[in-house]
Chain A
Amino acid sequence: MKTTPFTQKHIALGAKMAEFAGYNMPISYSGINDEHAAVRSNAGVFDVSHMGEFILKGENALDLIQRVTSNDASKLTNGKAQYSTLPNNNGGLVDDLIVYCLEENKVYMLVVNASNIEKDWNWISSHNTGNAEMHNISDKTCLLAIQGPDACKILQPLTEVDILNLKYYTFAKGRFAGVDNVLISATGYTGSGGIEIYFEDKDDNATVIWDAIFEAGKASGIKPIGLGARDTLRLEMGYCLYGNDIDDSTSPLEAGLGWVTKLNKETAFSSKDIFAKQKAEGIKRKLVGFVMIDRGIPRHHYKIKDAAGNEIGYVTSGTQAPSLNKAIGLGYVTVENASIDSEIFIDIRNNPVKAKVVKFPFS
C-alpha cells in the first residue's frame, strides 16, 4: 500500500486508517459527525495527497487539453482554475478534474482522482499527437485541503499571499509557512470555503507545513478530517464523486455537468458529437438529489422504483447527512421522475422506502 508524506501523522493522531485507491488513508479521527461539524462551523485539514497531478507543457499543451476535456480551457488566464471532465469516446467519463493555468498557452496542471491516475495518464497520452511535454508529478506532490468558514483567517498569518481575498477557482504561488513555491488555490470539495495547497514533497516541507497549520489553528480548534467526512460534506452539496455518481457509462449531461460541457467550443473533443446529439434529443435519465421521507439510509447501487414498483433508476451515493440530520442521496432516475418533489421509492433490503426529489444543495 502506498503512503503519503502525512501517513505517520495520521497514525500518531489515532486515525482509523483504510486502503483507498491504493493508499493508506485516514477515514476518520474523532468521528465523521464531529469532523463534519468542525468543517461546517470552523476549519478542518484534509490530507488529499493521494490525488494525481500532471503538468502539461509546450505550445501544443492547450490544444491537447482542449481535445481531451469538455470545458473550454482557452478561457483560462494565469492564476485561474477550471472544473472539467475527461470524456471517453462512448459518451461516458474517464474522470473529472481541475485544470490549472500556470502560464497561459504554455503550462497547465491537471488534478485528477487518485483511483484514475494511471487510466487518465494513458488516455491523455494516447491523444498527445502534438507531443506536448507531459510530467506525472503525483508521487512528489503534497496536497492539503484546509476547509471551513475560518480556514483562510487561520492561515493568513502563514503567508504573504492574500488568501482572504483569493477568488473562488483562482490561485497564487508563494511562500507558505516558510516553504517556497506553494500553490494556494481557492478550491475545495466541501462547500464551506477555504483553500487547497499543493507543494513538493521535498526535505521536511510536509512536516513543516502540517505543523504550522495546526499551530496556527490551535486556538480556534482546527481539526484533522478524514475521507469519511469528506464524503458526507461533498454529498450535502450535491458534488459528484467519480466511481459513484459519474463513471465510464454516465454522460456529463445526465450528471448535471452540462455547465462544464462546452458544446460551442471550437475544438472537437472526445464524445462532443454524442453530447450534442443528447442535448438536441434530450437525455433519458438524470442525476437527482433526494431526501428520505420514511426511515432508511440510501446506499450506492440500491434500486430506485416508482409508486407502482417499476424500476426507474439506482442510487449512486447516500448517507445520513450530519448537518441536516436526515438521510440523503444521489441517484439516476428517468427524466419523467426527475422533477423536484417527485415521490420515489428506494429499495432498501427489499422494502420500498419513500423519498422525495429535491434541489441542490440539500437543505
Chain B
Amino acid sequence: MNFPAELKYTKDHEWIKIVDGNTALIGITDFAQRELGDIVYVDISTVGKALEAEAIFGTVEAVKTVSDLFLPVAGTVTEVNSALEKNPELVNNDPYGEGWMVKFELANTADLDGLLTAEAYAELVA
C-alpha cells in the first residue's frame, strides 16, 4: 500500500496535505479506500462551518458500508471536490490525487505536528 511521505495522517484513516499557507486538501488513505471497497458517493454538508479536530465533516458511502469522515485538525471546509459527484470511484483509483475530498482552511498549522507521519501510519495499519 502507498502512503506518500509528504502527507500527514490520522488514526481515522484521513490524510491532509498543505497546498498553500493555511490551505490544505483532505482525503482518505489507500488503506481506507481498500477497506471500504467500491465507493458510491461522498456526502459533505459542512462547507463554511468552523469545526474542531475530529469533528465529522461528512460521510462516505460504499456499496456495502458507510463510514464517517473525521477532520484531522480544527478549521473550515471551503470546497468539496466536485469531480467526485460524477466519479466517486476516483477515491478508489487515486486516493491522494484526483480522489481528494475537501479543500480546507486550517485554524492553526501547528496542529499538524500532532498528526501521524507516513511511517507511523503505515505501522498503524500494518
* A residues in contact (CB < 8 Å) with B: 16, 28, 31-33, 228, 231-232, 295-297, 299, 319-320, 322, 327, 349
Judging by beta carbons under 8 Å apart, are A232 and B64 in contact? yes
- Shortest CB–CB separation between residue A319 and chain B, in angstroms? 6
- Shortest CB–CB separation between residue B29 and chain A, in angstroms? 16
Cα distance A297–B40 in the bound complex, in angstroms: 9
Judging by beta carbons under 8 Å apart, are B34 and A231 in contact? no
Known: A297-B66, A299-B66. A31 touches B61 (CB 8 A): no
Judging by beta carbons under 8 Å apart, are B59 and A32 in contact? no
Contact with A along B13-38 (1 / 0, CB 8 A): 00000000000000000000011011
The 3 closest A-B pairs by CB, nearest first: A320-B40, A33-B38, A32-B63
Interface residue tally for chain B (C-beta within 8 Å): 13
Known: A297-B40, A320-B40. A232 touches B63 (CB 8 A): yes
Judging by beta carbons under 8 Å apart, are A349 and B59 in contact? yes
Contacts across chains A and B counted by CB atoms under 8 Å: 36
Judging by beta carbons under 8 Å apart, are B37 and A228 in contact? yes
Q: Which residues of A contact B38 (CB under 8 A)?
A: 31-33, 320, 322
- Chain B residue nearest in CB terms to A232: B63
Known: A32-B37, A33-B38, A297-B40. A322 touches B59 (CB 8 A): no
Judging by beta carbons under 8 Å apart, are B37 and A297 in contact? no
Judging by beta carbons under 8 Å apart, are A320 and B61 in contact? yes
Judging by beta carbons under 8 Å apart, are A322 and B41 in contact? no
Q: Which residues of B contact A320 (CB under 8 A)?
A: 38, 40, 61, 63
Known: A295-B41, A297-B40. A16 touches B34 (CB 8 A): yes
Cα distance A231–B61 in the bound complex, in angstroms: 16
- Shortest CB–CB separation between residue A314 and chain B, in angstroms? 16
Cα distance A359–B34 in the bound complex, in angstroms: 34
Cα distance A64–B34 in the bound complex, in angstroms: 47
Cα distance A109–B41 in the bound complex, in angstroms: 44
Cα distance A95–B37 in the bound complex, in angstroms: 30
